[in-house]
Structure 1
């Protein structure tokens, strides 16, 4: 193998390791947001609410949801769909299992009052943002949620950020609808959900501005 090719292989290995680390961090962000009980992030809202109804874990429902997202991408893009994006499938399984593992590890975490709830909610926001930051820096394959937003943006010709906001709002609305129909109250949607929708992107930008370690590891 030529030295140049060897460098490319090492670079891609580094990228996928960073992506894997990001997925693990993101999973702990999800787990802590659930443990804090102040509302999950938009992407985790439907899986969490459904996990209260179905005999499946949050991670298993997350995997199923991501599979649906991948099928939606294929339906939207058709011939324009890039086969490399099928890597979203194994990534969905990894993220789902990471989520269940993280929930298991934090199962005994004590959250006795509202102040502690807020603390762990804030920690979850920073972890979620760090996970997203790693995912972006890896620059290999997006999670199926972001992949779906990108597919919709391509088909409609509208900017990714605008579609992202509408997509997240739709997921929260689905979570609210399922909660109200099934429990006659809100489950998984609270102030933490709003905070996640508003703050995570800001924190990611702060990380991007001040953390440069990954720039030295991943060569674009």
Structure 2
């Protein structure tokens, strides 16, 4: 393969893997919603606002991520890297694929608590794998990661600690919205806690898989 063709193919391959990672994550979100044991922290607000507004979860996810981009711009101002505006089309792909995934898995029948947990675990694994593939693509961060990084650039807080604070904040917002508008707690359950505890741990394992894939498909 010629050097020029390699230079053209390289970013295209990374873009395709970014879309793949976002799609896998979207199916993970859809499985967690189908399990009805509570969504992951990052999807808690979109899920609750979806129930309130009757918009699809994909649509509310896109809206929330665009808001995250605007907040990043407000935090970083002159330090904002305009390349990160690619987070918006990434959010559109992610939100659209959530709706597609919900449609695809809609026929799955869930009739007992064991089956709910099975779907919840599938969701956790898929979200973790999707994160690994998205990070492997190394093209653009998701808006959720971007806002955490933006805060860390302006405040003396480690990324890991800020990520926990961010996730807890989202869950708290979802709880308040649910109690105020729905008069009940919806979308926050034991599955939310499981996702918060285990997605990161599973991601460490899926990263080992994606390293091999990266060496084969994403080496220049």
Name the TM-score class by shorter chain.
Answer: over 0.9
Match of 2:22 in 1: 23
Match of 2:36 in 1: 37
Give the superposition deviation at 1:185: 2.1
Q: TM-score, normalised by structure 2?
A: 0.96
Contact 2:52 2:182 in 1 (8 A): no
Give the superposition deviation at 1:213: 1.8
Give the superposition deviation at 1:105: 1.1
Match of 1:80 in 2: 79
- Structure 1 distance, partners of 2:202, 2:10, is 26
What are structure 2's unaligned runs of at least 5 residues? none
Note the alpha carbon deviations across 1:92-140, whole angstroms, 9 max, x for none: 1111111111111111210000000000000000000000000110011
- Structure 2 distance, partners of 1:120, 1:102, is 13
Within 5 A, what are the aligned runs for 1:78-117?
78-117=77-116
Which is further off, 136-145 or 5-14? 5-14
Note the alpha carbon deviations across 1:179-218, whole angstroms, 9 max, x for none: 1112232111111111111101111111123441223212
Secondary structure at the aligned position of 2:66 is classed as helix
Match of 1:161 in 2: 160
Note the alpha carbon deviations across 1:158-189, whole angstroms, 9 max, x for none: 21111111000000011111111122321111
Give the superposition deviation at 1:152: 0.6
- Structure 2 distance, partners of 1:199, 1:55, is 30
Contact 2:152 2:159 in 1 (8 A): yes
Which is further off, 176-185 or 40-49? 176-185
- Structure 2 distance, partners of 1:210, 1:22, is 13
Secondary structure at the aligned position of 1:204 is classed as helix
Match of 1:8 in 2: 7
- Structure 1 distance, partners of 2:184, 2:168, is 18
Residue 130 (str. 1) matches residue 116 (str. 2):
no
Match of 1:218 in 2: 218
Give the superposition deviation at 1:91: 0.9
What are structure 1's unaligned runs of at least 5 residues? none
Secondary structure at the aligned position of 1:213 is classed as helix
Root mean square deviation, CA, Å = 1.4
- Structure 1 distance, partners of 2:58, 2:15, is 21
Secondary structure at the aligned position of 1:51 is classed as helix
- Structure 1 distance, partners of 2:7, 2:121, is 38
- Structure 2 distance, partners of 1:53, 1:90, is 25
Match of 1:192 in 2: 191
- Structure 2 distance, partners of 1:55, 1:210, is 38
Aligned residues between the structures? 219
